[in-house]
Chains A and B, each alone.
Chain A
Amino acid sequence: MIEDALDRASDLERGGDAAGAADALAVAAAEFEVVPDDICARLAQACAKAGRSEAAAHWAVRTVDGGTGFRSWRSASRVLAQLPEEHRPAKRDLRIALLSTATVTPLVPCLGLALARAGIDTQIHETPFGQYWQETIDPAAGLRAFDPDVIVLVPDHHALHRATEVDDPDTWVAEETARWTTPWTSLRSWSSAELVQLSFVHPEDDALGFAAASVATSFRARLRALDDALARTAGAEGVAFLDVDTLASAIGKRTWFDPRYWHVAKHPFSMDVAPELALRLAATVAARVGLSRKVLVTDLDNTLWHGVIGDDGLRGIELTGPRGEAHVDFQHAISQLAERGIVLAACSKNDDKTAREPFVEHPDMVIDLVDFAAFVANWEPKPDNLRTIARQLGLPLDSFVFADDNPAERAAIRHALPMVDVLALSDDPTTWREDLGRYPWFEPGSLTDDDRRRTEVYRARAQAAELAEGAASMDDFLADLQMVATLAPIDELSFDRVVQLIGKTNQFNVTTRRHSSETVRSMVDDPAWVHRTARLEDRFADHGLVAVALAREDEGVFEIDTLLMSCRVIGRGLETALIEDLIAAASDRDLPVIRAHYRPTERNDLVRDLFTDHGFRTVGVDADGSSTFELDVAGHDPRPTHITIRRPT
């Protein structure tokens, strides 16, 4: 059936009947849960040729999930690049520069496609071969004119002196570390782009054979030490570091590197692996701009344990033996994701009490009830329950990933909620831990303590949401939360978190200005700027640092540049407390007027009326909906909130 449809499609493609080919391919595609990449790419091409742009965009992006064939990715990427603006990815636009000591041209189309999968539209610039050092330093270089948002540095071990041994390996490592980190400093002197440093890929061969690792002077030992030093330095300096050597090992280094293409075209990796590298790189970039997935919703029966708790009972479900242990392994993987900040939710067709039983009673369970920020067990359709979970957590469905052993439930989610990523779990639970590990879009941006505490915070928020439904009035509810906000200037401890929030906050963000860490640093150092962070605690949880305000004194006017808040604390009155704090700051500086702006984006409609709701008057509206507001500081009556304000001295 599939073969017939594909053969028919080939004939129609050759005959120039794109619409017919697209229809035949769609018949084949309907037979798969995950449509293979080659079929996706052919569908994308046929749809584009038949003038079905929206379908072409859909299938081009689906290619990424269907496999990692270079040819498919190459053609899907080309289809996408030629589509009209309105069918291109819409969440973000990024200008990305690739700098390599070798030739990484095959990576360009693959990276564009993989980033489209994350909702990012790109322009990618590859610097000319052999210009790695010049481009980072020379102010006249093409890189600078390109004005990148992200700069990716791709080194290759062929650019190192490959002496078998050196006298003093420590000096060698220190000197090479300095050499390879110098571009970071030069680039940051003129660019506020995010930097992504790739590791070296360590070659299989070494003159000292497989004993080389134990000989400190060997090339292998030094290269490992150099990569470790680069990784550590990158972590400390806010440069993203992608461990490509581990990826190459996982794929296999004999596949990774094809010496023929090195000698003919200076390709440091084979075209076979370009899609896979592009996928990991795209996940890193997406995470840096706040577009990684944040929530894992998992089924329970036959997903977290073998068996059905409602039928088999506590003693009937299996968590030992080969089958049971595979589920335990899967639980470990999920629990580790939760520990590092992925928000966990349960969605099960069960009675609530029955579904909770294994967590409370079964000694072999790994995941605890408190690990779930939301726990929904009922008999409603799962798409409805996912919408409920999204509402409870206050997180959008396009940040959700869904895990369920039941293909019918997966199909229901794919159909009703296409923005949710569905893990295509195999029939064999022993592979699930690895399946989840390979899922790319949970990549963390830069880990902060607040990330690690996220589940706790969202659970508190879901509880607070339930409380709100029961509380007599909103005032009672807010008062009952016993909130305490700590307002403080940006300091060294809060700096990373502030930059992270500026980079990723989409909804409660009045101007969505994505200031780089360098820009924020210069604001902190400039006395004309007032900067505030807000931490919020309530009786359920410490929400951590959740809001940032930046304002500047400019020719007698106090102007709010940035006011943003994590959506997990919307509706608490913290925004009012922050605005009042800024008005007070203007008053302290004897400035008569405070001015604010709203710049509309696809996702910040929430704050369109924020300033008018707080007594500001509208003084200007542009054609694109950008608005300017002012408020006279004199005679302003501060608005009360239910938050106790603390100001550390």
Chain B
Amino acid sequence: MSETDVPSLLGDAIRDVLGQPDLVVTDDLTASDVEGWDSLAHVELIYVIEDTFDISFPADAIMDHEDVGALRRDIERLLADG
């Protein structure tokens, strides 16, 4: 997987989990900007991301990303470490 795929696959995952196919996903988007992005949806999102990228977040990172950009950087870091 090339690094350029990460934003597009992450955007797909977010739209898919939240059930909002037309949501525009940018780095500065936060959970509080989007209706329905509560902690339950976030846990599902993290699972879908782990499944999509075949990575595993440490437990304390699961609820810890302040915006989509932070989540994206964490994914890229885990992919690079893996």
Determine the main DSSP class of B at the interface with A.
Answer: helix
Encode contact with B along A83-108: 1 for CB under 8 Å, 0 otherwise. Answer: 00000000000000000000001100
A75 in the interface (beta carbon within 8 A): yes
Q: Is B80 an interface residue (CB 8 A)?
A: no
A568–B48 Cα gap in the complex (Å)?
Answer: 48
Q: Which of B32-82 contact A (CB under 8 A)?
A: 39-40, 43-44, 47-48, 51-52, 56-59, 62-63
User: Are the C-beta atoms of A261 and B43 separated by less than 8 Å?
Assistant: yes
On whether A71 and B51 interact (CB within 8 A), knowing A260-B59, A263-B59, A264-B63, the answer reads yes
Q: Do A265 and B16 touch (CB < 8 A)?
A: no
Q: Is the CB of B47 within 8 A of A264?
A: no
Tell me if A74 and B17 are in contact (CB < 8 A): yes
- Residue A78 CB within 8 A of the other chain: yes
Interface residues of B in 9-41 (CB under 8 A from A): 13, 16-17, 19, 21-22, 39-40
| Contact yes or no, B21 A74, CB < 8 A | no
Task: Please name all residues of chain A whose beta carbon is closer than 8 Å to the beta carbon of B19 when the two chains form the complex.
Answer: 75, 78
Kindly state whether residue A45 has any CB partner on chain B within 8 Å: yes
A261–B43 alpha-carbon span in the complex (Å): 8
Give Cα A263 to B63, complex, Å. Answer: 11
CB contacts (< 8 Å) of A459 on chain B: these are none
Alpha-carbon distance A78/B63, docked complex (angstroms)? 24
Interface size on B, residues (CB 8 A): 21
A105 touches B40 (CB 8 A): yes
Contact in complex: B63, A45 (CB < 8 Å): no
- Whether a CB of chain B sits under 8 angstroms from the CB of A267 is yes
Q: How far is the CA of A264 from the CA of B56 in the complex (A)?
A: 14
From B17, which residue of chain A is reached at the shortest CB distance?
Answer: A74
Look across to chain A and name the residue whose beta carbon is closest to the beta carbon of B64: A264
Chain B hits for A272, CB < 8 A: 51
Do the beta carbons of A271 and B44 come within 8 Å of each other? yes
Q: Which residues of A contact B16 (CB under 8 A)?
A: 71, 74-75
Residue of A nearest to B16 (CB): A75
Give the CA-CA distance A504 to B1 in the complex, in Å: 52
Per-position 1/0 for A29-62, Cβ under 8 A of B: 0000000000000000100010000000000000
Cα distance A71–B14 in the bound complex, in angstroms:
11
The CA-CA distance from A267 to B59 in the complex, in Å, is 13
- A45 near B21 with CB under 8 A, answer yes
Q: How far is the CB of B45 from chain A (nearest CB, A)?
A: 10
Interface membership of A400, Cβ < 8 A? no
Q: Which residues of B contact A267 (CB under 8 A)?
A: 43
A232-263, CB < 8 A from B? 259-261, 263
A70 within 8 A of B: yes
Question: Which of B8, B17, B21, B43 meets A264, CB within 8 Å?
Answer: B43
* Alpha-carbon distance A267/B51, docked complex (angstroms): 17
Complex Cα gap A263–B57 (Å): 13
**Minimal Cβ-Cβ distance residue in A for B60:** A264
Chain A residue with Cβ nearest B63: A264
**Contact A261:B21 (CB < 8 A) given known A71-B16, A75-B16, A105-B40:** no
Would you call B62 and A264 a contact (CB within 8 A)? yes
Look across to chain B and name the residue whose beta carbon is closest to the beta carbon of A260: B59
Flag if A261 contacts B40 (CB, 8 Å).
no
Residues of A within 8 A of B40 (CB): 105, 265
CA distance A70 to B13 in the complex (A): 12
Verify B47–A261 contact, CB threshold 8 A. yes
**A260–B62 touching, CB < 8 Å:** yes
A265 to B43, Cβ gap below 8 A? yes
- Residue on B with the closest CB to A10? B12
A189 shortest CB reach to chain B, Å: 32
Residues of A within 8 A of B44 (CB): 74, 106, 271
Among candidates B22, B39, B51, B56, residue contacting A70 with C-beta atoms closer than 8 Å: B51
Chain B residues with Cβ below 8 Å from A260 are 56-59, 62
Task: A161 to B19: give the CA distance in the assembly, Å.
Answer: 39
Instruction: Report the separation of the CA atoms of residues A106 and B59 in the bound assembly, to the nearest whole angstrom.
Output: 18
> Nearest chain B CB to A68's CB is how many angstroms away?
12
A16, A70, A271: most-surrounded residue (chain B CB, <10 A): A271
B57 neighbours in A (Cβ, 8 Å): 260
Point out which of A45, A75, A259 has the most chain B C-beta atoms below 10 A from its C-beta.
A75
Whether the pair A70, B47 counts as a contact (CB closer than 8 A) is yes
CB-based contact A71/B48 at 8 Å: yes
CA A105 – CA B56 in complex, angstroms?
A: 21
How far is A264 from B62 in the complex, measured between Cα atoms in Å? 8
A236 shortest CB reach to chain B, Å: 37
**Cβ–Cβ contact B59 & A264, under 8 A:** yes
A18 (CB) vs chain B CBs: closest residue:
B21
- Of residues 99 through 144 on chain A, the ones whose CB sits less than 8 Å from some CB of chain B are 105-106
When distances are taken between beta carbons in the complex, the residues of chain A under 8 Å from B43 are 261, 264-265, 267
Q: Give the shortest distance, in Å, between A108 (CB) and chain B (any CB).
A: 10
Q: List 20 A-B contacts (CB under 8 A).
A: A16-B22, A45-B21, A69-B51, A70-B51, A71-B13, A71-B16, A71-B48, A74-B16, A74-B44, A105-B40, A106-B47, A260-B62, A261-B62, A263-B59, A264-B43, A264-B62, A265-B40, A265-B62, A270-B47, A271-B47
> What are the 7 A-B residue pairs with the smallest beta carbon separation, nearest first?
A260-B59, A271-B47, A265-B43, A78-B19, A264-B62, A71-B48, A105-B40
Residue numbers of B with Cβ under 8 A of A are 8, 13, 16-17, 19, 21-22, 39-40, 43-44, 47-48, 51-52, 56-59, 62-63
Given contacts A14-B8, A105-B40, A265-B43, 13 further A-B contacts (CB under 8 A): A16-B22, A49-B21, A70-B47, A71-B48, A71-B51, A74-B16, A260-B56, A260-B57, A265-B39, A267-B43, A270-B47, A271-B47, A272-B51
